[in-house]
Structure 1
Amino acid sequence: MNFDNKPEELHRQNIPTARLPSGTVIEIPILSYEAKAEGPTLFLMAGMHGDEINGVEIIRRIITQGLYKVSAGRVICIPVFNVFGFINFSREVPDGKDVNRSFPGSQNGSLASQFAYFLMQEVIPHIDYGIDFHTGGKQINNFPQVRAMLEDPTNKALANAFAPPFIINSPFREKSLRKESGKLGKSILVYEAGESLKLRKPAIDVGLNGMLRVMKHLGMIKEAPSPKSAPITISKSSWTRASRAGLHYAQARNGSFVKKGDIMGVISDPYGEYEKKIKATHDCYILSVNNNPVVNRGDALFHTGVVE
């Protein structure tokens, strides 16, 4: 790919990456903007999972509001990476695989692997830093949070600059974009907020303002919105799961702090024969809530985190 566009012009490249069975070409639009002054290259991407659309809206606003017009450095935007999933309201590509578990990819591998390979070969070598925008999947509602490698000083500094409500210490996952980019010295944050196939203004606003604070931290712009409060850093997190199937009524508020023994939710059967309270096993913050009212045994209900 060619990112040597004229300074202070928004450049769009429509990159053909695949075809539908009908023969229709699938293109990934990639937009880039370069300032006259030298500086870092910041990569902004959404739609890795096609049904996670809060990030798509964040980057759409970045484009329509001209927030990509930095005074130093370069911005590369991919509003929708997994075009297949986006048009099919799906997390995956048609082969059923998760693109974010397919890195570094292969030119002749599965469709998900080919998408990953394209990104690693054509885009990632040109960047310095990145923000990968996500939401919760399968009706999981994520309270606005950034996932970062806090052992990495650069990644930690970016996360603190973003200043979301929660910063979660998140080790690299195998075959993920974060891990494979990290091997190349590229520092990428993952922003998680909201629920799949639903647009939520608070999640979008926090992501947009956090992105601007990262730009300011990198010296790309001079002003950015101040965070409403200092981020809470979560050192360890875990899932509270359903001990039996039934109807789940979440009672604890997403993003809130609960104490050991507090009731977070209730599982009951449809016939009024039993009711089981879900209690917090320790003092913790609630990072995510499962909004699906019908659950099976073992389903993730609450993602909780503790601060050391």
Structure 2
Amino acid sequence: MAGTDRETGVYEVDGSAEGPTAVLIGGMHGNEINGYRVAAAATDWGIDAGRLVVVPLANIVAIERNAREGPGGDLNRQFPGGRDLETDLARAIWGVVEDADPDVVIDLHRSRGLFETHPRWVGQAIFPTRAGGAVEDAEHVIDAMNDRYVPSTMRFHRFAMGNVQDDDRDSGLLVQKVHLELGVAGFLAELTEFLLDLETQLRWTTAITELLLERHGIRRIA
């Protein structure tokens, strides 16, 4: 969206060998700091193979306001399946995703509470698509996060499997559209801010991103 107040960067990180393509998106909601900071950091990563296309500050107006929604409302409800997209920004983001021809799409988020503990919130969960073996990948990453990162004293913060994204054309979620129209693996990764400091949120979001990319043949290197 060059030349508008919603203009934001798209970055490409290339590995030294041929490999799959991943799209990483942060900042869909402007107050979810972990997502856009980890995505922004990923623009400077090295990867061993393949290609990583990053939109770190997707909803730049909302980020500047530290607000969940920008002028067009909730951006992650503007991607209905099989229909025209609802805003110029959603169309621009979807254009980046389609042009990348990805093997996997990762959308980074953060909630205020815990999945299946606080009825209004969905934190500490990964929501995979049905396509592309994403359910098995999510199970693997959830187990790894709970084994390696979540202390035994924080059992309520253990990661869980979120609802599988498959045939709901009306949710408006980006990963749902990824499933319906591209038929590839997609993940909506939700951290929580509930009793977690920002540095822990960043560390865990980074770990989830790296683990999901590794499952698809893209490994971060120094």
TM range (shorter): 0.7 to 0.9
Task: Give the number of the structure whose residues are more often strand, by fraction.
Answer: 1
CA contact 1:54–1:194 (8 Å) conserved in 2: no
State the aligned residue count.
Answer: 194
Of 90, 93, 108 in structure 1, the residue corresponding to residue 67 of structure 2 is 90
Corresponding residue of 1:114: 88
- State the shift of 1:199 in Å: 6.0
Quickly say closer, same or farther: Cα 1:142–1:205, change in 2 above 3 A: farther
Pair 1:176 & 2:167 matched? no
- Whole-Å Cα distance in 2 between the matches of residues 157 and 210 of structure 1? 14
Structure 2 distance, partners of 1:99, 1:34, is 28
1:136 to partner: Cα distance: 1.2
In 2, distance between residues paired with 1:146 and 1:29?
A: 26
The residue correspondences of 1:1-308 to structure 2 (distance < 5 A) are: 15-16=1-2, 18-19=4-5, 26-63=6-43, 66-67=44-45, 69-95=46-72, 97-104=73-80, 106=84, 109=86, 113-126=87-100, 127-136=102-111, 143-149=123-129, 151-152=130-131, 154-163=133-142, 164-165=145-146, 166-172=159-165, 174-183=171-180, 184-195=182-193, 200-221=198-219
Cα pair 1:194 1:200 within 8 Å, conserved: no
Larger relative contact order (CA 8 Å, sep ≥ 6): 2
Change over 3 Å in CA distance of 1:195–1:141 after alignment to 2: farther
2:2 is paired with a residue of what secondary structure?
Answer: strand
What is the CA deviation profile of residues 222-280 of structure 1, one whole-angstrom value per residue up to 9, with x for unaligned ones? 889xxxxxxxxxxxxxxxxxxxxxxxxxxxxxxxxxxxxxxxxxxxxxxxxxxxxxxxx
In structure 1, the gaps of 5 or more residues are: 1-14, 20-25, 225-308
Deviation at 1:161, TM superposition (A): 3.9
Structure with the greater alpha carbon radius of gyration: 1
- Give, in angstroms, the shift of residue 45 of structure 1: 1.0
CA–CA separation in structure 2 for the residues paired with 1:16 and 1:137: 32
Q: Secondary structure at the match of 2:4?
A: strand
- 2:200 and 2:123 map into 1 onto residues whose CA distance is 9
TM-score by length of 2: 0.74
Check the 8 A contact 1:135/1:141 in 2, yes or no.
no
> 1:153: how far off?
6.0
Instruction: Indicate how the Cα distance of structure 1 residues 120 and 222 shifts in structure 2: closer, same or farther if over 3 A, else same.
Output: closer
Unaligned segments of structure 2, at least 5 residues: 114-119, 147-158
Q: CA RMSD in A?
A: 3.0
Q: Give every structure 1 segment of 4 or more consecutive aligned residues whose post-TM-superposition deviation is greater than 6 Å.
A: none
